[in-house]
Structure 1
Amino acid sequence: MSILQPIILGIVEGVTEFLPVSSTGHLILAGALLGYDDEKWKVFNIVIQLGAILAIVVLYWRTFWAVFHGLLRRDATSIRFVRNLLVAFVPAAVIGLALHKKIEALLSRPDIVAVALIVGGVAIIIIERLVKAARVSGVADIPVRTTVGIGIVQCLAMIPGVSRSGATIMGALSLGVERRTAAEFSFFLAIPTMLGATLIELKSNWHEIGHGTVGWGTIGIGFVVAFVVALAVVRVFVPFVSKHGFTPFAWYRIGAGAAALIWLWK
């Protein structure tokens, strides 16, 4: 197996994990385009997402360190920060465990990804035009009711191509959270969400790792590449959306989805 395969998929993951374009959807389409066996690469695609998640831990380590110290002092702001992440995580955890097998079945459907990319792009354009002035700034200041709503909307991302970051960011914007806070809340919420998804996938497929095409060495390459690329992307993403909004990503989604449908129907 060529070392180029995990590098390509690692780049795709690192670029798309925190953009509202669906990293899982892009990995599925990349695998279909390059002729990879979805069944052999599904564990790889899930686990390398932790490389991108690690990039968030590194980039925002001061925030996490301050929250940790705040929790030791029982600081109200730190408590609200953690509370909001946990509350928003619960819906995905419950539904993900309940529908794990059905969700897995969708991971081999590039046609669903293509349609979801287009529908999601249209949804982003509509939300960007209709969203009212933001009332909430700061992750710790998001009301509990709003975090529940964001957590529920995040569950839409179990459909490949919807985008976890896109669903949470658009959900937050619709509920009155300003752009930068919406993006950062999506970053932070990815940590428990993707960690949980990875642990479930590893538990279900542990026996396959090292005995098939994709072993620990291959996963390690994809992990490192996804980490490095995500570091660069996140540094640019927040300033970009603060200035330009999310509409450019919506048009990209529509174009990519349409191109994928044309290619799949050939």
Structure 2
Amino acid sequence: MALTAPGNPLSHTVSSPIAGSVLPLAEAERQLRTLPGVLDVRIVPSETGAVSEVHVVTTMEVSPKATVRNVETMLKASLKMSVDHRKISVATSNEKARAHVEAERNIAAPVVSAPTLVAPPAPAPMKAPRLFFEDVEIQRSRAKGVTVRVTLRKGDQSFTGECEGPESARSRAELAAKGALLAIAELERGAGSFVVEGCKLIDAFEREFMFVGISVRVGRETALLTGSCEIKDSPETASVLAVLDATNRWVSRI
């Protein structure tokens, strides 16, 4: 059931830091508003500064489940924050709500005054959309063993990478990582030089994490990129998110 967005946009806190980060809440909320379909965001901190709640208002073009995954990925990859998906709530709205929110933002936008001229400030340069996780599928067959299909999204486009191999818990995680790199290669020119060095399950702080190593050619040298993600949904999903953690900043330079 879709929820109608409130008449006024969500209020935003601009002074409290998030979970010990130097970035203010307003910066985190601004980045989350760049996600596909997101109309507005409000992050509620706890008394200790950790994230207590994340409230998101979206259009109907992206499912709530995909939005929650996108929020988790953005906070992890861009702000190095790990937020439990149960703290993220999503309400869907229609396009009229988007127009209302954008109108309110335009009214509140600051202006630069001069003796004979009043003009809005020059818009900030637009950043290229980042890569976000959308889905991972696992298919088993006697002939091929296991096939892992990974779907990533950039803006309003989604691309798929698929790998197959023998059936085992470790191989599924590595196949998911390779599938993620194939999807990245479809999205980004110059990303085809990525190679999965390995995936490793790590126990730390009474939790399980997926750790991946990815090599990439830099001129005549080879650089090692690493990424990690706490296992919440499945090892395969965590493997894909760890790949994005390792490559998102690198891919943004390509």
**TM-score under structure 2 normalisation?**
0.23
Higher relative contact order (CA 8 A, sep 6+): 1
- Structure whose alpha-carbon radius of gyration is higher: 2
